[in-house]
Amino acid sequence: MISKPIDKEFNVEISGERFSASFLNDLVDAHTRKIAPRYRKFQRLYEGKHKIQGRKKQDGNKPNNKLVNDFFGQTIDNTVGYFLGNPIILNYTEPKKEKAQVETDPNDVGVDLGEIEDTAVQDALDTLCIENDKDDLFIEWGKEAMIKGLSHLLVYQNEESKTKLMRLSPEDVILVYKNSSTKELEYAIRLYDIDTEDTDKTTHYAEVYSASKIELFKSTDTISTGQNRRDFAAYEFVEEKPHIYGRIPIITMYNNEEQMSDLEKIESLVNDYDKVLSDVSNEFEAFRNAYLMLKNMTTGKDGATKLKEEGIIEVMENGDVKFVTKQIQTEALENHLNRLEKSIYKFSQVPDLSDENFAGNLSGIAIRFKLFGLETKCIIKERKMEKAIRDLVRVLAVPLRVLTGHEVDVINLKVEFTRNVPNNLTEIVDTVTKLDGKVDKETLLSLLPFIDNPKEVLEKMEQEAQADRKANDPYSPNNVTADGSNLFPNLNAQNSSQEVVNGGLYRLCK
């Protein structure tokens, strides 16, 4: 049994029915001391708590400005807005079942119920997503993965037996793999703490999830001793209970294969930018408080105080008074800061939206070319998030089957991402118009940025078309008056007969 961390994951082969409490203590200790601090560091950077803020004052007489430039927050927020600003669409299409050919009675002009699409799974999935605020949950899930390199979702059943989703921070989750090569998950451990003020104690809990059950462990320490830390915890087994999902209900989304934060590549650049700008601010503050030089004269015992209060000094013969200032190389500093800023945007792959090159009515191709670096980065994120969403639906397959009676297969699931980018609507409409008749309507509608669910729009179009046909059908009950006369009296018998035949054939075909 391997009880030491390898890179960012643990590998273990455990025999027996119960998870080892001693092994759990080793895992929590290593995770708390070696892995979790990295996640907390990047969270602090995103929140604007930069390294410069810890700089101590070397000289009590000199200024010590600490200027924070929020490139970290801007990088994450712009990436999240571009990648996840528009809702992710989950479309589940039930495969059509093959049916035997049967002879149809010519007099039967009803609707063939076999042609109606089965949307039970899609409806249940939509309801579950609405109940769990899917759009907000997914955007926070993706944002945390960008900040820390990965993030987790927990699927559970609440007291009312409703399926709920909850985001778990990587500081509170330990993943235990069978081995490093296949990354096959054996256990997922959720950590959480509960403080009890009346007893002055903190209780540490650990839930060990496997494919079939949850094992609960806990450890208690005293707050007043200052030892309320997980790496000091000694967990003991409490209970175990089964779960319904048939797989581990903790889903992990990775920012990339290396589990790197989007902030790692620009951390040193932003730290240097903060330092240089803070030093420049210190220089300007010192320049304002320049030294006063007296030549061939002195101020006397109380002269300096009097000079500060009155601002007047008497100059003797051959004497002189002037300020001694330091020459600041503003041009060199400006060039250095410009180079740093350019490198930050370059390596973060997030464009500077304040750049004048973004001004004007750019074409769609021009906009996408300027966003090419960001798009390249988001393609990787899209692949990782789509994989995580499919894993999520695999877990949700059990409650969905209970609700609908249908087996859920992720092969039938389509995950659609739409970039949140300014569009030249005229160009898009022109493209859709040219493709009409060459591409199916659902695909054409998906090209329009203001349509989130093309399938829903097609259903509404079909309903409107049916309403129009009924309104224009002279033999519809809605178009016959109370006395039995038709609202279309000008139709001759021949046309009326033909309409009856055509109408009947139409309804038969439907």
Task: Give the three-class secondary structure for 32.
Answer: helix
Among 226-235, 241-250, 474-483, the range of highest mean pLDDT: 241-250
Helix H or strand E segment including 308: helix 303-310
Tokens of 276: 């240089």
Q: Can you tell me the distance from the alpha carbon of 382 to that of 393, in angstroms, rounded to the nearest whole number?
A: 16
**Which band of pLDDT confidence, cut at 50, 70 and 90, is reported for residue 282?**
confident
**Which band of pLDDT confidence, cut at 50, 70 and 90, is reported for residue 100?**
low
**Which band of pLDDT confidence, cut at 50, 70 and 90, is reported for residue 75?**
very high
Chain segment 156-207, per-residue pLDDT in tens: 999 998 999 999 999 999 999 887 777 789 999 999 998 876 667 888 999 9
Higher pLDDT, 44 or 487: 44
Mean pLDDT on 82-110: 72
Neighbouring CB atoms inside 10 A of 100's CB total 4
Residues facing 52 on adjacent strands: none
Nearest to 396 by CA among 258, 289, 245: 245
Q: pLDDT value at position 111?
A: 46
**Which band of pLDDT confidence, cut at 50, 70 and 90, is reported for residue 268?**
very high
Mean pLDDT on 123-149: 95
Q: Are 106 and 84 in contact (CB under 8 A)?
A: no
Chain segment 26-52, per-residue pLDDT in tens: 999 999 999 999 999 999 999 999 999
Q: Are 373 and 345 in contact (CB under 8 A)?
A: no
Kindly give the interhelix angle for 330-348 and 267-288, rounded to the nearest 10 degrees: 160
Q: Can you tell me the distance from the alpha carbon of 70 to that of 260, in angstroms, rounded to the nearest whole number?
A: 20
Q: Are 185 and 177 in contact (CB under 8 A)?
A: yes
**How many residues are given for the chain?**
510
Mean pLDDT on 377-406: 95
Nearest to 294 by CA among 270, 329, 276, 318: 318
Range with the poorest average pLDDT among 107-111, 155-159, 425-429, 456-460: 107-111
Q: Are 155 and 170 in contact (CB under 8 A)?
A: no
**Which band of pLDDT confidence, cut at 50, 70 and 90, is reported for residue 505?**
very low
- Classify residue 10 as exposed, middle or buried by CB count within 10 Å of its CB (0-12, 13-18, 19+): buried
Q: Are 394 and 151 in contact (CB under 8 A)?
A: no
**Which band of pLDDT confidence, cut at 50, 70 and 90, is reported for residue 319?**
confident
Mean pLDDT on 285-295: 67
Above 70 in pLDDT, residue 487? Answer: no
Q: Which residues contact 192 (CB under 8 A, 6 or more apart)?
A: 172, 204, 205, 207
Higher pLDDT, 283 or 2: 283
Tokens of 158: 């609440």
Higher pLDDT, 221 or 338: 338
Average pLDDT over all residues of the chain? 81
**C-alpha of 83 from chain center:** 8
Share of the chain above pLDDT 70, in %: 75
Q: What is the DSSP string of 87-105?
A: PPEEEE-PPPPP-------
Q: pLDDT value at position 129?
A: 95
Higher pLDDT, 142 or 58: 142
CA distance from start to end of the chain: 65
Higher pLDDT, 98 or 137: 137
**Phi, psi at 16, each rounded to 5°:** 115, 170
Q: What is the 3-state secondary structure (H, E, C) of 350-403?
A: CCCCCCHHHCCCCCHHHHHHHCHHHHHHHHHHHHHHHHHHHHHHHHHHHHHHHH
Q: pLDDT value at position 502?
A: 43
Q: Which residues contact 411 (CB under 8 A, 6 or more apart)?
A: none
For the chain, how many helices (H) and strands (E)? 14, 13
DSSP letter at 58 equals S
Nearest to 351 by CA among 71, 97, 62, 55: 71
Q: Are 249 and 154 in contact (CB under 8 A)?
A: yes
Share of the chain above pLDDT 90, in %: 46
Above 90 in pLDDT, residue 10? Answer: no
Q: Can you tell me the distance from the alpha carbon of 225 to that of 122, in angstroms, rounded to the nearest whole number?
A: 53
Q: Can you tell me the distance from the alpha carbon of 224 to that of 201, in angstroms, rounded to the nearest whole number?
A: 8
Range with the poorest average pLDDT among 91-100, 126-135, 347-356, 464-473: 91-100
Q: Can you tell me the distance from the alpha carbon of 385 to that of 80, in angstroms, rounded to the nearest whole number?
A: 13
Chain segment 270-281, per-residue pLDDT in tens: 999 999 999 888
Q: Which residues contact 98 (CB under 8 A, 6 or more apart)?
A: none
Strand 173-177 and strand 10-11: the pairing is: parallel
Report the amino acid identity of residue 339. R
Where do runs of H (alpha helix) occur along 85-215? Answer: 120-131, 134-148
Where do runs of H (alpha helix) occur along 31-119? Answer: 36-46, 71-84
Chain segment 432-444, per-residue pLDDT in tens: 888 888 888 888 8
Q: Which residues contact 374 (CB under 8 A, 6 or more apart)?
A: 78, 79, 82, 349, 350, 351
**Which band of pLDDT confidence, cut at 50, 70 and 90, is reported for residue 464?**
confident
Q: pLDDT value at position 260?
A: 94
Tokens of 471: 């309104």
Above 60 in pLDDT, residue 333? Answer: yes
Above 60 in pLDDT, residue 210? Answer: yes
| C-alpha distances out from residue 508 to 61, 107, 212, 342, 344, Å | 94, 9, 51, 68, 66
pTM of structure: 0.75
Neighbouring CB atoms inside 10 A of 36's CB total 22
Above 60 in pLDDT, residue 105? Answer: no
Task: Give the three-class secondary structure for 300.
Answer: coil
**Which band of pLDDT confidence, cut at 50, 70 and 90, is reported for residue 370?**
confident
**Which band of pLDDT confidence, cut at 50, 70 and 90, is reported for residue 16?**
low
